[in-house]
Amino acid sequence: MLVIGAGAWGTALGVVLARNGHTVSLWDSETAHIERLREDNRNHRDLPGIDFPAGLKPATDLGSGLYPAGDVVIAVPCPDLPDVLDRLAEITPSRLNICLACKGLASGGPLLNHQLVGERLRNNASVAVLSGPSFAAEVARGLPTAVTVASEDQNTAEYFARLFHTGVFRAYTHDDVIGVQVGGAVKNVMAIAAGIADGLGFGANTRAALVTRGLVEIIRLGVTLGGRQETFMGLAGLGDLVLTCTDDQSRNRRLGLLLAKGMTVDEARAEIGRTIEGVRTAGAVMELAGKYAVEMPITEQVARVLAAQTSPSEAVQALLAREPKAESL
């Protein structure tokens, strides 16, 4: 089995799979990083204190671990997904089983991540997506976690759920692959908003309102794109949203906190030092919202803050100044 992406999340998922008895090759485009992992037998940079199980081996060869089953877990930042898929298309003529663990949007265009796989691999892959409330450090430490594995093909969802499922890592299956992806992507934008509000000192009432109305925006977009409303009441919707909006392990929430303190986006990103999916996702979501005429006022204000078109305090005031209306989806 091959796990692509040796950041915190990819490493944590590799640890789960190896602890579950699978042989796992962990590959990353940063060759120097992989060499350090091989030397240390742990990922000091992203998951300090977690030793690799015997079955987890960092690999410099992208094809390592692909055969015989052709199972691939992809946990790279979403902007890197197209390049990863193109590389896979070059090295394998056989059909792959791919589980996407990228929480975001790979492009600002009309394709969701699972659709991008079909385009780049010419539909030569069975695809599932894994999402839900899950911080990598807690997963790697073996703390109880529940996620959703979704696919348009139930057999594929069940296949990957069985690979991941352990006594402390519970994997539920789902068939709403669109809804699960939208929930996992847009919650990052809402976490930035929650961080901004908390950083400005607006308190628990404001945070609760942002989470609730943020969920409404996620549902609006997800249903418009073909997802089902009930999906967003589950782990990949409400569960992941609450987690990332309320805990400072979330990079997106921390970004919002730093922006509220007066940092620029570049300064805040440098302070955090890791990929923050919500920065890019906010713009991509606004493109989709514009294309399909979906009202997403919180997302719009976050995108404006990230583009330095308004300040965090002005963004909150713009939301508060909206005309009163009936509470609805």
| Burial status of residue 205 (CB atoms within 10 A of its CB: 0-12, 13-18, 19 or more) | exposed
* DSSP category for residue 80: G
Sheet holding 145-150, edge to edge: 56-59, 24-27, 2-4, 71-74, 96-100, 125-131, 145-150, 169-174
**Residues linked to residue 27 through DSSP beta bridges, in sequence order:** 4, 59
Q: What is the DSSP string of 146-194?
A: EEEEE-SSHHHHHHHHHHH--SSEEEEEES-HHHHHHHHHHHHHHHHHH
Q: Quick one: which of 75, 145, 128, 138 has its CA closest to 104?
A: 75
Element (H, E) at 26: strand 24-27
> Does residue 281 contact residue 105 with C-beta atoms inside 8 Å?
yes
Can you say how many angstroms the Cα of residue 90 is from the centroid of all Cα atoms in its chain? 26
User: Among 58, 57, 37, which Cα is nearest to 47's?
Assistant: 37
Which residue in the list 103, 187, 261, 291 is annotated as catalytic? 187
- Give the gyration radius of the chain's Cα atoms: 19
Residue type, 192: I
What is the C-alpha to C-alpha distance for residues 193 and 295, in angstroms, rounded to an integer?
16
3 state SS of 310 = coil
Q: Is the peptide bond before 58 cis (omega within 30 degrees of 0)?
A: no
325 noted as active-site residue: no
User: Quick one: tokens of 207?
Assistant: 């945070």
Maximal C-alpha separation, the chain:
60
Residue 184 to residue 195: CA distance in whole angstroms: 17
**Whole-angstrom distance, CA of residue 281 vs CA of residue 103:** 9
Active-site residues, by number, are: 187
